[in-house]
Structure 1
């Protein structure tokens, strides 16, 4: 698949309620209409529809196209009572979906579904449909599907709220406890995890105008279609409808859990109006403090983050590592121009419990996210946004791809990629990678000191006594006291230097290792603001 333009025209029932949908043919499109749950008992089965057609990605794509040709209307949804809107995070977390209410429960399928209640931070409604042999069945909300924990509400929970999102669980072992491997919750956010991992950094269906002065727009997945998997299935197919004031879109996901969980994503977008900054394959994470701490954070833990760096692989073989930063005052936006990126992602490289000392959050188990474009994405740039945050409950890191050839209203914009989530580190097999970044801030008129450790298996071509030299570049100021030395503890190499920067000017610094005329390591990049 290729990222680009396709110039083809304005191109509380007693248990869960599962009912076949009726279909209405409107302007050549097949639209699914849910069957309502009336009163306190399940609705009777409808008669066989006179007009039916199998669901497909093509029909969803055509629906998104028709929606984009019309003015945006916020999806209608049952009103959410104030007592659910005002739930605290702890009270909201106490509401749990009952596993026995899930579709396909007890049928021995490797995949299980769970659904998320509306309330608190997650007030938007999401409609859920199930696909069985191409036919659509609505999965309707009823309060009996949920355990409300210690919550006591002033009124009964309404019987027609819809859901806030969904979770996918997978049984890695035949008789083991299923593990959550994917979650779709909030706007177009979704999270993945590999085996024995915990959900952490998130992806988005689309980012719009992130870090722009006029504010960001958050498109929403408003409906999901989930295909019933066979008993021996190793993957699960899902479809989603994206909608917002600026765009409508059709998404197809193929989820394959594993030690590294992989999600194949295909999307067709149709713009209602021009978007200044569309961000594709957008990734979102949290970074409070890491090894490169230069800002005081009153916390006993040595590090607190879901990801600690942005990694990308260019078409000419260069691998670039940019450590993440929690800025002290204002957000930072860094651009990395590229043509046909081979991959990029937000990585969690530190995998030792002692890096975090956090028994509750276990940040060493959070997955790295890695995007591999399908086809050629052409010219564009990766943008990294870092937002000041005083606490770990804020996702303050965003990275995404902006194509030079942006989508335009009236034309279909099709793109595809794969997204992997796991603990295995993405890096070049022939280059040393960055192990750590440590900084001694400027003090007593001594310029800041940077200490970068590189490690990993040395390339086969490197002779045991070959000379290794650290190289640096700075966009302004001057690098002094450059030292390259063997790290006898890690078996890698350490590069250290001071940076005398031009007062008040931001500086981008690069450092890497070379030996006998060849790059020996990935390139370390750091942005120092207002030194």
Structure 2
């Protein structure tokens, strides 16, 4: 079982399964270290040495990425794969980054430490420290790591390079931000518990062709000048069909907030470019729990996709673990935000005191400027265990991407306990499915009952016997019946229930909300119901 809140001495693991292939990489854990006190960014000591200064700015790095896109892609290959393959999870976490080698780019508020290469991340990255309009690259030296005498890492070249970095808390006992593998990054968020991942770019997810994984090749670290922020991390991106620069201005005061500015440059035509992608894990919840699959009531990093559309509609789409890869698209123009949320915050609903799923971050994407027309795409991939990330969500512009195209994109990424912009309308708090019909009477074959709870917002202010509250339910196919709504006798929630009979096992798209007269009381609940073959007969 993975520990996603690992201490510096106990590395956590995460597995990236964001496309049709499943890619493994360690995330915020292994014992490592990087950032020296403010004013010492270029100071050299017996552990840390730097290359000569070079001119640096976001625009200069963007120009470099643009020039790269005009040239053929040159694949970076592992220099010593036989040795690196020996550095598995157990061997990797025994390699400790020396605390005295920690870099302090941000006056102690965001110490940075480095990851060693290993089996799952064999390509080195450049680590650069920025001071004004100059940057210097940190030289690799194995002396910054403590290694067991029998560690395979001792056989590697003395200039093999670093794998990634993580940002520590000021006391350096835990980390809260990690970059390791491809163009992925994770934060422990407001509740200090790692969960889902973000990445800079997703190319051809769930397409007939293999997914392409752009990677951060270089990291540039500098102190933030934004009030309330600590660190700016600017990354150079490369892949066979895309290059780019990705700048994150990061602050952690409660929620972790990243103001992101990026530019991407296409080397070639790309059928599906996923912007602002998130990757998560959903195995099962109370919604449609398989019998005896696991002793815990629920297992997931996120339980739903939330959308705030350009037309101001609030939407909640509970996640599925489907029998085959499913892609759902939500067309929009000028979206106000979207994200993968962990709404269920009750330990009693998970009962896991090892990985604390109730503390996993909610991650919200807030566009800056007008993103125009396009769609949010949700990809759900089958999984039979919690070690596989099987959920991906991203924005796809309606404008196709061709060779030579430039894509500018800016947004705010927030890792928090709750949505950063709560809605006035009531939100979905539970979705449950069971046998249809009426208790005590013969159950109709092939009929399933849905029960959706709404709470907070408008319905929480209603009297229990309020009149005129109406359930609005629509289905893409099938027969709806027994549609009701009522106040739950405990608490302030209102419940909607309905039955549906589907004629075959093909997906059924459901849409529902509560209203009173012309007033919409709740967010819109969307669900892709997957009838079981025998129940649909």
The answer, yes or no, to whether TM exceeds 0.5 is yes
1:52-451 to 2 correspondences below 5 Å: 54-75=55-76, 79-104=79-104, 109-148=108-147, 152-153=151-152, 156-171=155-170, 176=171, 179-228=174-223, 234-296=229-291, 298-327=293-322, 329-426=323-420, 428-440=422-434, 445-451=445-451
Does residue 1:18 correspond to 2:13, yes or no?
A: no
Q: For residues 183-232 of structure 1, what are the alpha-carbon distances to aligned partners after superposition, in whole Å with 9 as ceiling and x for unaligned? A: 11111111123244212111111000000011100001111110145899
Q: Is the 8 A contact 1:64 1:249 kept in 2?
A: yes
Q: State how far apart, in whole Å, the 1-side matches of 2:435 and 2:211 are.
A: 33
Q: For residues 358-394 of structure 1, what are the alpha-carbon distances to aligned partners after superposition, in whole Å with 9 as ceiling and x for unaligned? A: 1111111110000001111111111101111111111
Q: Per-residue deviation at 1:177?
A: 5.1
Q: Per-residue deviation at 1:441?
A: 5.5
Q: Give 2:496's aligned residue.
A: 495
Cα 1:225/1:201, change in 2 over 3 Å: same
Q: For residues 33-79 of structure 1, what are the alpha-carbon distances to aligned partners after superposition, in whole Å with 9 as ceiling and x for unaligned? A: xxxxxxxxxxxxxxxxxxxxx310000000001000000001366x1
Q: Secondary structure at the match of 2:254?
A: coil
Q: State how far apart, in whole Å, the 1-side matches of 2:482 and 2:149 are.
A: 62
Q: For residues 91-145 of structure 1, what are the alpha-carbon distances to aligned partners after superposition, in whole Å with 9 as ceiling and x for unaligned? A: 323333222212239x952110011111121222111111122211111222222
Q: Is the 8 A contact 1:430 1:459 kept in 2?
A: no
Structure 1 residues not aligned, in runs of 5+: 1-12, 24-53
Q: Secondary structure at the match of 1:111?
A: coil
Cα 1:520/1:290, change in 2 over 3 Å: same
Cα 1:229/1:103, change in 2 over 3 Å: farther
Q: State how far apart, in whole Å, the 2-side matches of 1:133 and 1:351 are.
A: 43
Cα 1:130/1:448, change in 2 over 3 Å: same
Q: Give 2:15's aligned residue.
A: none
Q: Is the 8 A contact 2:502 2:531 kept in 1?
A: no
Q: Is the 8 A contact 2:382 2:390 kept in 1?
A: yes
Moved more, 224-233 or 152-161: 224-233
Q: Per-residue deviation at 1:302?
A: 0.8
Q: State how far apart, in whole Å, the 2-side matches of 1:255 and 1:297 are.
A: 42
Q: State how far apart, in whole Å, the 2-side matches of 1:142 and 1:402 are.
A: 42
Q: Secondary structure at the match of 1:448?
A: strand
Q: Is the 8 A contact 1:61 1:268 kept in 2?
A: yes
Q: Is the 8 A contact 1:104 1:112 kept in 2?
A: yes
Q: Per-residue deviation at 1:284?
A: 0.3
Q: State how far apart, in whole Å, the 1-side matches of 2:145 and 2:292 are.
A: 39
Q: State how far apart, in whole Å, the 2-side matches of 1:312 and 1:154 are.
A: 46
Q: State how far apart, in whole Å, the 2-side matches of 1:415 and 1:220 are.
A: 17
Cα 1:110/1:164, change in 2 over 3 Å: same
Q: Is the 8 A contact 2:459 2:492 kept in 1?
A: no
Q: Is the 8 A contact 1:15 1:145 kept in 2?
A: no
Q: Give 2:38's aligned residue.
A: none
Q: Secondary structure at the match of 2:138?
A: strand
Q: Is the 8 A contact 2:127 2:218 kept in 1?
A: yes
Q: Is the 8 A contact 2:214 2:239 kept in 1?
A: yes
Q: Is the 8 A contact 1:15 1:144 kept in 2?
A: no
Q: State how far apart, in whole Å, the 1-side matches of 2:461 and 2:388 are.
A: 44
Q: Give 1:470's aligned residue.
A: 471
Q: Is the 8 A contact 1:509 1:527 kept in 2?
A: yes
Q: State how far apart, in whole Å, the 2-side matches of 1:503 and 1:277 are.
A: 31
Q: State how far apart, in whole Å, the 2-side matches of 1:231 and 1:146 are.
A: 33
Cα 1:363/1:95, change in 2 over 3 Å: farther
Q: Is the 8 A contact 1:166 1:185 kept in 2?
A: yes
Q: Is the 8 A contact 1:347 1:369 kept in 2?
A: yes
Q: Secondary structure at the match of 1:322?
A: strand
Cα 1:414/1:302, change in 2 over 3 Å: same
For the aligned residue pairs, the C-alpha RMSD in angstroms reads 2.5
Q: State how far apart, in whole Å, the 1-side matches of 2:80 and 2:181 are.
A: 16
Q: Is the 8 A contact 1:311 1:322 kept in 2?
A: yes
Q: Per-residue deviation at 1:444?
A: 6.9
Cα 1:111/1:211, change in 2 over 3 Å: same
